[in-house]
Amino acid sequence: MKKDILKHKLVPEHAILSKTEANKVIKQLNIHQEQLPKIKVDDPVVKEIDAKSGDILKITRRSHTAGKFITYRLVL
């Protein structure tokens, strides 16, 4: 029996950013793409949403301090 891991309550929402969106994020943070936190291509969620190496993921998760927090990760 295979479950949809994306629906699990402990798995936050992952979305692949488009090129323009990705550039906007990079510019906004004023960093190099390589300076972003990373996520491996063989991460179960990355495989599930079919992200490719070099993609930037937007991860929206619940936060104790901020309520909702958006973070970005570079797929390795």
Partner 1 sequence: MQGILKKISQINFGLLSPENIRKMSVTKIVTPDTYDEDGYPIEAGLMDPRLGVIDPGLRCRSCGSKGGDCQGHFGHINLARPVIHVGFADTIHKILRSTCSSCGRVLLTESEIIDYKDKLDAKYKNEESITALIKEIYTVARRDKCPHCDEEQEEVKIDKPVSIVEGNYKLTSSEVRERLEKIEEDDYILIGINPVVAKPEWMVLTVLPVPPVTVRPSITLETGERSEDDLTHKLVDILRINQRLKENMEAGAPQLIVEDLWELLQYHVTTYFDNEASGVPPARHRSGRPLKTLAQRLKGKEGRFRSNLSGKRVNFSARTVISPDPNISINEVGVPEMIAREVTVPVYVTDWNIEDMRKHIENGPKIHPGANYVIRPDDRKIRVYEETKDSILEKLEPGYVVERHLMDGDIVLFNRQPSLHRMSMMAHEVKVLPYKTFRLNLCVCPPYNADFDGDEMNMHVFQTEESRAEAKSLMRVQEHILSPRFGGPIIGGIHDHISGAYLLTREGSVFEEDHVLQMLKKARLPLPKRKNEGWTGKEVFSLLLPDDLNMVYRAEICRKCDECLRQDCKNDAYVVIEDGQLKTGAIDEKAYGAFSGKILDSIVKDYGTDKAREFLDSATKLAISGIMKRGFTTSTADEEIPREAKDRIEELLSMAELKVEQLIDAYHNDELEALPGRSLRETLEMKIMQVLGEARDKSGEIAESYFGMDNHAVIMALTGARGSMLNLTQIAACVGQQSVRGGRIERGYSKRTLPHFKEGELGAKASGFVHSSYKKGLDPLEFFFHAMGGREGLVDTAIRTAQSGYMQRRLVNALQDLSVQPDGTVRDNRGIVIQSKYGEDGVDPAKSDYGKVADIDRMIEEMRIKSKAAK
Tokens encoding 7: 């629906």
Exactly one of 22, 36, 46, 56 binds partner 1 (CB under 8 A); that residue is 36
37 contributes a contact to partner 1 by CB under 8 A: yes
| x/- map, 4-33, partner 1, by CB under 8 A | -------------------------xxxx-
Give 60's contacts (C-beta < 8 A, 6+ positions apart): 12, 13, 15, 68, 69, 70
List residues near partner 1 by CB under 8 A.
Answer: 29-32, 34-37, 63-66, 69-72
